[in-house]
Amino acid sequence: MSSKFISPVLCLLSVALSSGQEVDYKKQIAPILSSKCNSCHTAKKRETDKKPKAGLALDTPGGIRAGGVLEPGDASSSELYVRVSLPKTDDELMPPTDDGGPLSAKEIALIKKWIDDGARFSSGSGQGLGEIAADLDVAKVMAMPMREPNADGVAHLEGLGATVSQLAVNLPQQLAVEWISTYHKTTDKEIEQILHIAPNVVEVDLSRTKVTDEGLKHIGKLARLTHLNLSRTQITDKGVAHLSGLRYLEYLNLYGTGVSNDILPVLAKHRKLKAVYAWKTKITQEGLSKLRKALPDAKLVLETDAKSNRYDNLDNPDNKFDF
């Protein structure tokens, strides 16, 4: 649609750039966006307007990803590039001419090259590891208010196979950590590294990992945790005891673990709990009825649809499924 409008100057520039090294998002792209785009396209609440223009926030990688304006590897199909490279007379040009536009030829070329190279937000993972490895005492960091996540910590964790994602476009500081394709080789050692970003972690999915009771000590330090999935892991009552400090816990999935009724007094103290999953554990219906008194509004799931009486015969704890 737009390629025919691109001026020869631009083409020359992009050729010149393409022989150079990779464009760095943080150093080269983010500054362009922040000086030229973020006055309208921001996730931060502004006085005049609570939403970013067109629902597109360009001030965080999450916002840009969610915006659907990128086709990694193909600038000419990416709205982010197409809209800034239109001719001056085009109504669709961004930024608008009366609002600081258009971008300079060099800026446009940088954006093009960045997208054509795959639009990477971080340059390599596991970087800066030496710097942060020593800082595992989270007691101090936890006291701080929620702040920008430690980017090196995120990259480090991703290098170990974790997926770290923002909870929502408008909550870029709250992070969810999970091991999606790598659960089968994830142990306490990798899980401990989550402490590098401890102040920002609100959701953790450890299902099917090799986490042990010992590993839950680290999880117990994530004071802002609201969601914890431990399903189909080796953990037992001993491990759950380490979670007593998690005051904000709302969702706890224990399905397919070795826990028993003995943990219920611990769970009863988590007043914020909204959902506990205990299918295929040693927890019994009687145990749950007692917990019900402490948590009258929570969803406590042992087995669904007891009422229909159809789905009860599956409860066989010796039955190990291979997932």
Residue 191 CB, nearest approach to another protein (Å): 18
Site for another protein contains 308 (CB under 8 A)? yes
- CA-wise closest residue to 218 among 188, 238, 184: 188
Residue 134 CB, nearest approach to another protein (Å): 27
Q: Which member of 11, 26, 311, 317 binds another protein (CB under 8 A)?
A: 311
Quick check: helix, strand or coil at residue 253? strand
Burial of 261 (0-12, 13-18, 19+ CB in 10 A): middle
Residue located via tokens 């904000």: 248
CB neighbours of residue 284 within 10 Å: 14
Q: Which member of 93, 105, 122, 188 binds another protein (CB under 8 A)?
A: 122
Q: Which member of 87, 96, 118, 317 binds another protein (CB under 8 A)?
A: 118
Site for another protein contains 303 (CB under 8 A)? yes
Cα separation, 239 vs 211, in Å, equals 10
Q: How far apart are the first and last CA of the chain?
A: 47
Residue 320 CB, nearest approach to another protein (Å): 9
Two tokens at 272? Answer: 């914020």
Sign of CA dihedral 167, 60, 25, 130: negative
Residue located via tokens 């089968």: 184
Cα separation, 244 vs 133, in Å, equals 26
The residue among 80 and 195 lying less far from another protein, judged by its C-beta, is 80
Quick check: helix, strand or coil at residue 221? coil
Site for another protein contains 318 (CB under 8 A)? no
Give strand ranges (E) for 116-226: 163-168, 171-178, 201-205
Binding residues for another protein, total number by CB under 8 A? 55
Residue located via tokens 């948590």: 295
Site for another protein contains 73 (CB under 8 A)? yes
- CA-wise closest residue to 222 among 287, 174, 171: 174
The residue among 32 and 175 lying less far from another protein, judged by its C-beta, is 175
The residue among 214 and 303 lying less far from another protein, judged by its C-beta, is 303
Residue 196 CB, nearest approach to another protein (Å): 19
Residue 137 CB, nearest approach to another protein (Å): 29
Residue 250 CB, nearest approach to another protein (Å): 10
The contact mask relative to another protein for 161-190 (x = CB under 8 A, - = no) is --x-xxxxxxxx-x-----xx-xx------
The full DSSP string for 63-124 is: HHHHTT---TT-GGG-HHHHHHSS-TT-TT-SS-GGGTPSPPHHHHHHHHHHHHTT--SSSS
Site for another protein contains 81 (CB under 8 A)? no
Residue 140 CB, nearest approach to another protein (Å): 27
Site for another protein contains 259 (CB under 8 A)? no
Cα separation, 180 vs 209, in Å, equals 10
The residue among 57 and 264 lying less far from another protein, judged by its C-beta, is 57
Site for another protein contains 76 (CB under 8 A)? no
Q: Which member of 255, 259, 267, 291 binds another protein (CB under 8 A)?
A: 255
The contact set with another protein (CB under 8 A) reads: 1, 55, 62, 65-68, 70, 72-74, 79, 116, 118-122, 163, 165-172, 174, 180-181, 183-184, 229, 231, 251, 253, 255, 275, 277, 279, 301-305, 307-308, 310-311, 313-314, 319, 321-323
